[in-house]
Structure 1
């Protein structure tokens, strides 16, 4: 066989090749041990909100997982607790504050839930230095425009604090997921700094519409372009290029069923597949866009 007919694939550029200090991962979870183990049980059981076998690879202690991230070249990351029912947000937020205080690379992360007093809680968290919030409507089973949440959204729109929101219908949708829910919220609070998790999978095009329409709406790449998650339509790649400045690298570490580097490799495989998908685009997604948003 003529070796020239099957050339070796071009190695993916490293962050060093891209001129960035490493990866800025905006979708990492660190949780209190009891809650982390409960989350992993859901993955192990392939529960109804998981929908498929999902063998989690990274189950070490907090300290071990922080060292793993450092070894993967992650230089900044989140902790992203998310409240799944009333009465747990304060516990999660207190733990996350202590975690961020001892891990310098970690953004101060917090969550909230539609329950009485949420406006005051969110205002106090913002005043205390929280840098990013996380909501998960599929797990928490609430609407983004729940009346109890509206005063909290007003606080967050005014403060400009980013919020990572899992509102896409992947991996399993329910009555609380889908782009229509975020669209209703953005009509009320158009300047919210929302980061749509998983590029909104599987409703990619609809969430792209919202990011194109609303100046401060962004998306993270978590699990998209891997061999495991929802397939991404090639026809949307030109829009991925055009949205470059609004895309942020995310992984969903530690609850991954594949090696951490697979997410980066999936993004690197996009290079050259549409105009604008170049190394500058990749450097923006992996570092510059998040650094500009969070001031790091």
Structure 2
């Protein structure tokens, strides 16, 4: 399947389009820094990582529209203190000016985090993003306890990159974030990338009622060559039909968007599963 085939694919499923919970739009200077990092992927990851959609913001939005992605966030995330609040303001303005974009926000363990998260919720943030490996922090830090509590109380989802893929961090893996969930069991969390490569450990976190996992990059030939998904766990994905949501990592993927959808279809979990994952579950989480 190629990108040009995607609209026909979701129409065959009887859908009116796709909902993708893991899309990135960032201020130009931040996105350029991210792309520069991927240019050095062989040093970081041991493999090339060409960014397929390295185009202008306008062109990227047009690509999503052509693909039929009806709702998506512009996920932002900081790698150091002092970034989160201005990223939140940028993401809020971007969503307000962009049809289909759901207002998103982020945070970092720093003084004032609880205050600016409260402000973001009051101003309509519908989803948050945190990246434990990039931020290089422990999600159990005291400065985040009030933040997790606010999000749990509000029922607003947070996409959490806590898996050790593509490279591990000091606080990645299901253990640290599992401790967060033990303290905040009602938190609506979306484990990014299916928690790769600790797939089983992160799937186990669905014992908490509001934990979901997104499909970002999972099952694609690129990822299977590095961190293959254990096929004996496929039946768990079927059981979790209402808790698996489409994510892509657009635009920072080393293949066409259609590859993610083709990889999901190759699991042979049925059209009802694909409809739930590629449209209905994401729409519910984003309030769309």
TM-score normalized with structure 2 length: 0.94
Whichever of the two has the greater Rg, that structure is: 1
| Alpha-carbon contact 2:161-2:193 (below 8 Å) kept | yes
Render the CA deviation track for 1:230-264: whole Å, top value 9, x for unaligned.
21111111011111110000000000110111000
How far 1:295 sits from its partner (Å)?
A: 2.2
Partner of 1:5: none
Once the two structures are superposed, the pairs formed by residues 72-221 of structure 1 within 5 Å of their partners are 72-211=67-206, 213-221=207-215
> Following TM superposition, by how much is the alpha carbon of 1:228 offset from its aligned partner in structure 2, in angstroms?
0.5
Aligned CA distance change for structure 1 residues 51 and 133 (closer, same or farther; 3 Å): farther
Q: Contact 1:51 / 1:171 at 8 angstroms: preserved in 2?
A: no
Preserved contact between residue 132 and residue 169 of structure 2 (Cα < 8 Å): no
The alpha carbon displacement at 1:51 in A equals: 4.3
Q: 1:53 aligns with which of 48, 58, 61?
A: 48
- Cross-structure match for 1:290: 282
1:269 aligns with 2:266: yes
Separation of aligned partners in 1, 2:169 and 2:66: 37
| Residues 197-240 of structure 1, C-alpha deviations (whole Å, 9 max, x = no match) | 000000111111111x1000000000001001121111111011
Aligned-pair CA distance for 1:176: 1.4
Relative to its length, the structure with more helix (as a share) is: 2
> Runs of 4 or more off by more than 6 Å in structure 1?
none
Structure 2: which 5+ runs fail to align?
Answer: none
Q: 1:93 Cα deviation (Å)?
A: 1.0
For residues 67-124 of structure 1, the C-alpha deviation after alignment (integer angstroms, 9 at most, x for no partner) is: 0011112111111000110001112111111110111201101110000011111011
Q: Which residue of 2 aligns with 1:234?
A: 231
Gaps spanning 5+ residues in structure 1: where?
1-10, 272-276
Root-mean-square deviation (CA, aligned residues, Å) is 1.4
Deviations 1:29-55 (A, max 9, x none): 000000000000100011765443211
2:27 alignment counterpart: 32
Cα distance in 1 for partners of 2:60, 2:42 equals 24
Question: Which stretch shifts more, 91-100 or 250-259?
Answer: 91-100
Deviation (angstroms), 1:57: 1.2
Tell me if the contact between 1:20 and 1:283 (Cα under 8 Å) persists in the aligned partners: yes
**Number of residue equivalences:** 280
